[in-house]
A and B are shown apart, each in its own frame.
Chain A
Amino acid sequence: MDVTSAFVEAFSLITRLDPGFLAIVGLSLKVTLTAVVLAALIGLPLGAWLAMARFPGRSALVITINALMGLPPVVAGLIVFLLLSRSGPLGSWGLLFTPTAMVIAQTLLVLPIVVSLTRATLEELWAEYRDHLTSLGLTGLRAIPTLLWDGRFALATGLLAGFGRASAEVGAVLMVGGNIAHYTRTMTTTIALETSKGDLPLALGLGIVLMTLTLAINAAAYAASRVGARYAG
């Protein structure tokens, strides 16, 4: 096998627009983007609060969340698996081996990154704006929206980092999704499957497509933040 045939495979995957392949790409994007949106909804306010709040044990909490950025995906997968298995505490929900289970696992992986980077970014902003915001009557939780809004371009990078972690991940989605054809098969689990079938050009071709998609999404986010920064100042 040579690298050329992988590029040929990648090119033909993109140009053929095979419905099965598009469904895999679509599911990957849907699962990952949903996980990032959920992590943002929870993580941005939580990170902002953590940037401002002072309480005993805060340092320990910050260190724990920082460390969770390194949570191995396979461990996150195992935790979600044990929770959602029919023999686990949430088994009656019947969510194991569904896309929802994959979203939960990926949210768990992305959340520490969002919280941690939000806290780090907004801590500086808060130090800078604290007196100003307080004089406007924005104290405590009411300052969170303003802080988030002012830090939005820096925070977008945190969300992209989260997206990168989720889209590149295979261990957790394989474990809780089960890599079921036409249902929970994503780009990364397909790459793992094709590698195990010895179809290395197809596996690498899929890898190239995944990288291209990631590149496109990052370029779009970068362009959006540039345009936004120009108009919003």
Chain B
Amino acid sequence: MLSRRILLACFLATLASASFAQTPERFIVVSSTTSTTDSGLFNHILPLFKAKTGIDVRVVSQGTGQALDTGRRGDADVVFVHAKAQEEKFVADGFGVKRQPVMYNDFVLIGPRSDPAGVKGSADIVAALKAIQTKKAPFISRGDKSGTHAAELALWKIAGVEIDAARGPWYREIGQGMGAALNTASALNGYVLADRATWLNFKNRGELAIMVERDKRLFNQYGAILVNPAKHPHVKVKDGQAFIDWLTSPDGQNAIGDYKINGEVLFFPNAQQPGA
């Protein structure tokens, strides 16, 4: 009686595990940033890529630092991130084959409509950050080694603010993704640096609005890198390279440029731009 039950349980377990195996065989794993997923870009372009090639793309979205780590450990075939200096180091260290520029978007400084630092409408991000620091207005930092975090730290440096020395209760590092940072800013009425794509797709805005935009220093370049098969022999070189080739081909570039929210283009394809 009992052994029959155990047999039944075994049978059910086998059945359940067998049904996991029904997923398509041809796939690659791409480690990418929260912005590309949260903005809905992948939902738009991946079906087009799959229709063309039959390759399923499994996207794990993390901060840029973590996404590069995932590639370094060999847990992804392609990394698709936005922090040029870190990407070049990734390739120089032998973890990636080659960095291909794909597209850019831009960062925006978000803040409460009450604007305690008085920066609204400025096109100078550096002056705006200085004002926030001087007035000790609440500022939310990602603090998670993401591309956006790296960009924020670089901007503080340009502004001449030693953030390690200047930090105080006004500067809050949350160690989480873009969406969480925006939720925190919304709850605390603080300032936060965000990528435009995530901001446009973000629903819980409360009192938040764009304060500073269109400064050239807010430019945000994305690159795609095939993980080096010399380090990790299991990397799917052919299918991973097919994805990068498609992203940088006219088809892929058009698909990226076609993606809009409320009529606004989120990512500008620039695979052919020299030095991008």
Contact = CB atoms under 8 A, between A and B. Distances in A.
Interface of A: 1, 30, 33-34, 37-38, 40-41, 85-87, 91-92, 94, 96-100, 103, 145, 148-149, 178-181, 183-184, 193, 195-200
Contacts of A99: 20
B74 A100 contact: no
Given A86-B74, A96-B75, A180-B59, A41 B13 contact: yes
A34 B16 contact: yes
Interface in B125-178: 176-178
A181 B58 CA distance: 7
Closest 3 CB pairs of A and B: A196-B179, A198-B204, A86-B74
Contacts of A184: 58
A38 B43 contact: no
A30 B16 contact: yes
A97 B59 CA distance: 10
Interface string B168-196: 00000000111110110010000000000
A201 to B, nearest CB: 8
Contact of A87 (B13, B17, B74, B183): B74
B2 A148 contact: yes
B73 A197 contact: no
A38 B179 CA distance: 36
Nearest to B203: A198
Interface in B1-59: 1-3, 6, 9-10, 12-13, 16-17, 19-20, 23, 29, 34, 37-38, 42-43, 58-59
B61 interface: yes
A87 B201 CA distance: 35
Contacts of B20: 30, 98-100, 103
Given A196-B180, A198-B203, A100 B60 contact: no
B214 interface: no
A55 to B, nearest CB: 25
Interface string B251-263: 0000000000000
A11 B92 CA distance: 52
A217 to B, nearest CB: 15
Among B178, B179, B183, residue most surrounded by chain A Cβ atoms (within 10 Å):
B179
Contact of B203 (A33, A34, A98, A197): A197
B217 interface: no
